[in-house]
């Protein structure tokens, strides 16, 4: 019921043991050389060059390939050749499991098909953003996965509204927020009314009524929904080659005047119209 | 009946897990710790057979606590319960540190119990 990677799926289904998976991952680690290691293996640079580049990386926020070009150690064409060699020799986890005898070739194909079917519900459909950003695909996926989790976790009928760029965050009963860091820097927020907070609490706690629950528990359920969405977004982002770290969720109670957008951030608002006439909002405060 | 300690900063997740565990008939929930440091203390006082632990918690996180627990107590079986289960590096790190399995959120009761019974 969540975004998974193939190895996790196999362990969870009891197809391979966690010991076999770790052995296959170790085989991958030995086989799948990093860019610098591959450049050395191809005789283009020396280990000493890599050490110099790594030292330079401490004071420069640059990818190793770009830095090696800037330092005159590799040409752009050579970086491209190294990346191609990495891609062509990459050992996938399924292949590694076959190599260590934990799966047969036929079994691998069968499990890949089962994995594809399990994860089909999380394949992203198109969402139009009103901005162009280097990470547009990530933000589209974030909105799409939020919609999917509203259906699967909260069991709510809804209609997504048009995404807009906002100049302020409108007042609401409460917001739950989570900061995202790594290759992307942003804050993810869900804004809900009092009645939607109760709907979320009923779904998360699997209780028919939450009238006697404390405010702390009710708020916690919205934070947990944000945690589940963002954890799965981070998993999907890693499949897209983007590192995304998540932090513990927090609650925000906006004043009646709403909240200003922090300097240097772009705010995207995704209205989500719930079946009974209520609206929640997903908000992304994207830095840079 | 096997004793289970739940470790999660979220009250609602702890409630869900405690309900699943106590209604199973096979396990009894011996407590709820809100972060890794509390988990280490409660592992000492409650002596659980199994710990179900979140990864992403304020204070001491789940992987740090797992690292400590795997050194301090070779008997206790730790299962991570996390929304980050689908992030390959996190999943692998948890297994390398000695976790017996990783359950992704959102989870289903049947899946949680199947994994706990297999331990």
pLDDT at B41 over 90: yes
> Are the C-beta atoms of residues B69 and B78 closer than 8 Å to each other?
yes
Q: Which of A217, A238, A246 sits opposite B88 (nearest CB)?
A: A238
pLDDT at B63 over 70: yes
pLDDT at B115 over 70: yes
> Are the C-beta atoms of residues B49 and B76 closer than 8 Å to each other?
yes
> Are the C-beta atoms of residues A262 and A285 closer than 8 Å to each other?
yes
Q: Which of A21, A234, A248 sits opposite B87 (nearest CB)?
A: A234
Length of chain B counted residue by residue: 119
Q: Which of A22, A152, A228 sits opposite B83 (nearest CB)?
A: A228
Q: Which of B12, B86, B107 sits opposite A232 (nearest CB)?
A: B86
Query: Which residue out of B11, B36, B100 would a mutagenesis test of the A interface target, given it has the greatest number of A Cβ atoms within 10 Å?
Result: B11
Listed residue (A100, A99, A91, A145) closest to A122, CA to CA: A145
Domain-terminating residue out of A71, A90, A121: A121
In a domain, A1, yes or no: no
Average pLDDT over residues B74-100: 88
User: DSSP code of A155?
Assistant: -
| Longest CA span, chain A | 69
Please report the pLDDT score of residue A159 as a whole number: 85
Alpha helices in A71-135 (DSSP H): 76-89, 93-99, 105-119
A118-132, B16-30, B33-47, B93-107: the lowest-pLDDT one: A118-132
User: DSSP code of A170?
Assistant: P
- Chain A residue at shortest CA distance from B61: A248
Residue A241 to residue A220: CA distance in whole angstroms: 31
**Co-location of A139 and A235 in the same domain:** yes
**Co-location of A161 and A30 in the same domain:** no
B8 contacts in chain A (CB < 8 Å): none
Residue B19: band (very low, low, confident or very high) from pLDDT cuts 50, 70, 90: very high
Strand A186-192, strand A279-287: pairing? antiparallel
Please report the pLDDT score of residue B45 as a whole number: 95
**Co-location of A184 and A46 in the same domain:** no
Tokens in use for A85? 């060699």
Please report the pLDDT score of residue A143 as a whole number: 94
Strand A244-246, strand B77-82: pairing? unpaired
Model-level pTM?
Answer: 0.80
> Are the C-beta atoms of residues A177 and A189 closer than 8 Å to each other?
yes
Higher pLDDT, B116 or A61: B116
- For residue B88, give how far its alpha carbon lies from the nearest alpha carbon of chain A (Å): 6
Average pLDDT over residues B18-25: 92
- For residue A111, give how far its alpha carbon lies from the nearest alpha carbon of chain B (Å): 17
**Co-location of A174 and A233 in the same domain:** yes
Higher pLDDT, A100 or B90: A100
Please report the pLDDT score of residue A200 as a whole number: 95
**Co-location of A116 and A215 in the same domain:** no
- For residue A224, give how far its alpha carbon lies from the nearest alpha carbon of chain B (Å): 7
Q: Which residue range(s) make up the domain with A164?
A: 124-287
Question: B16–A204: do the CB atoms touch at under 8 Å?
Answer: yes
- How many beta carbons lie within 10 A of that of residue A120, not counting itself? 8
Question: B106–A223: do the CB atoms touch at under 8 Å?
Answer: no
**Co-location of A184 and A232 in the same domain:** yes
What mean pLDDT, rounded, does chain B reach? Answer: 91
Does B119 lie at the interface with A, CB-CB under 8 angstroms? Answer: no
Domain-terminating residue out of A104, A121, A138: A121
**Co-location of A17 and A158 in the same domain:** no
Q: Please, what is the Cα angle at A19 between A13 and A23, to 5 degrees?
A: 115
Domain-terminating residue out of A121, A148, A178: A121
In a domain, A52, yes or no: yes
Q: For every one of its 288 residues, what pLDDT tens digit does chain A have, with 9 covering 90 and above?
A: 677 888 888 988 889 998 999 999 999 989 999 889 999 999 999 999 988 888 887 777 677 888 888 889 999 899 999 999 988 999 999 999 999 999 999 999 999 999 988 887 666 566 888 888 888 999 999 999 999 899 888 988 888 888 999 888 888 899 999 999 999 999 999 999 999 999 999 999 988 999 999 999 999 999 999 999 999 999 899 888 899 999 889 999 888 888 888 888 999 999 998 877 788 999 999 997
In a domain, A69, yes or no: yes
Strands (E), A109-173: 158-160, 164-166, 168-169
In a domain, A112, yes or no: yes
- How many beta carbons lie within 10 A of that of residue A108, not counting itself? 20
Percent of chain B with pLDDT over 70: 100
Residue A68 to residue A49: CA distance in whole angstroms: 9
> Are the C-beta atoms of residues A94 and A102 closer than 8 Å to each other?
no
Does B8 lie at the interface with A, CB-CB under 8 angstroms? Answer: no
Give the count of domains, chain B.
Answer: 1
- How many beta carbons lie within 10 A of that of residue A125, not counting itself? 8
B101 contacts in chain A (CB < 8 Å): 11-12, 18
Tokens in use for A80? 């491209």
B89 contacts in chain A (CB < 8 Å): 238
**Co-location of A268 and A132 in the same domain:** yes
**Co-location of A258 and A200 in the same domain:** yes
**Co-location of A11 and A100 in the same domain:** yes
Does B96 lie at the interface with A, CB-CB under 8 angstroms? Answer: yes
> Are the C-beta atoms of residues A11 and A18 closer than 8 Å to each other?
yes
> Are the C-beta atoms of residues A147 and A190 closer than 8 Å to each other?
no
**Co-location of A74 and A148 in the same domain:** no
- Chain A residue at shortest CA distance from B19: A205
Listed residue (A20, A2, A12) closest to A94, CA to CA: A20
Beta bridge partners of A195: none
Chain A residues with CB within 8 Å of chain B CB:
1-5, 7-8, 11-12, 14, 18, 21-22, 25, 149, 152-153, 201, 204-206, 216-217, 220-221, 223-224, 227-232, 234-236, 238, 246-248
Tens of pLDDT, residues A46-84: 999 988 888 887 777 677 888 888 889 999 899 999 999
List of residues 6+ apart from A18 with CB closer than 8 A: A11, B95, B100, B101
**Co-location of A68 and A191 in the same domain:** no
Give me the CATH number covering residue B80: 3.40.50.2300
Q: Which residue range(s) make up the domain with B13?
A: 2-118
Coil vs helix vs strand at A286:
strand
Question: B11–A216: do the CB atoms touch at under 8 Å?
Answer: yes
Give the count of domains, chain A.
Answer: 2
């Amino acid at each position: 019921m969540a975004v998974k990677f193939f190895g996790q799926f196999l362990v969870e289904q009891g197809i391979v043991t966690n010991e076999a998976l770790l052995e296959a991952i170790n085989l991958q680690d030995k086989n799948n050389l990093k860019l610098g290691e591959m450049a050395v293996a191809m005789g283009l640079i020396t280990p000493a060059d890599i050490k110099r580049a790594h030292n330079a990386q401490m004071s420069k926020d640059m990818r190793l390939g770009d830095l090696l070009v800037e330092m005159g150690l590799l040409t752009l064409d050579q970086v491209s050749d190294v990346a191609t060699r990495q891609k062509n020799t990459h050992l996938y986890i399924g292949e590694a499991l076959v190599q260590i005898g934990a799966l047969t070739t036929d079994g691998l194909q069968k499990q890949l098909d089962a994995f594809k079917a399990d994860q089909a519900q999380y394949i992203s459909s198109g969402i139009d953003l009103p901005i162009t950003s280097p990470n547009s695909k990530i933000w589209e996926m974030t909105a799409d996965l939020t919609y999917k989790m509203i259906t699967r976790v909260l069991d709510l009928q809804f209609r997504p509204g048009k995404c807009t760029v906002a100049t302020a965050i409108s007042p609401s009963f409460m917001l739950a927020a989570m900061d995202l860091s790594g290759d992307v820097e942003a804050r993810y927020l869900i804004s809900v009314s009092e009645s939607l907070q109760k709907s979320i609490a009923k779904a998360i706690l699997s209780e028919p009524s939450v009238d006697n629950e404390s405010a702390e528990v009710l708020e916690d359920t919205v934070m947990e929904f944000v945690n589940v969405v963002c954890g799965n977004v981070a998993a999907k982002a890693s499949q897209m080659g983007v590192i995304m770290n998540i932090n513990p969720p927090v609650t925000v109670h906006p004043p009646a005047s709403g909240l200003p957008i922090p300097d240097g951030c772009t705010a995207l608002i995704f209205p989500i119209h719930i079946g009974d006439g209520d609206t929640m909002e997903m908000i992304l405060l994207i830095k840079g | 009946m096997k004793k289970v300690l739940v470790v999660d900063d979220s009250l609602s997740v702890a409630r869900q897990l405690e309900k699943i565990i106590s209604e199973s008939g096979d396990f009894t929930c011996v407590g709820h710790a809100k972060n890794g440091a509390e988990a280490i203390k409660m592992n000492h006082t409650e002596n659980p057979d199994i710990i179900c632990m979140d990864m992403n918690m304020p204070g001491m996180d789940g992987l740090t606590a797992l690292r400590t627990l795997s050194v301090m107590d070779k008997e206790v079986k730790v299962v991570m319960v996390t929304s980050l289960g689908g992030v390959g590096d996190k999943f692998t790190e948890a297994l390398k540190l000695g976790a017996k399995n990783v359950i992704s959120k959102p989870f289903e009761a049947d899946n949680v119990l199947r994994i706990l019974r297999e331990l």
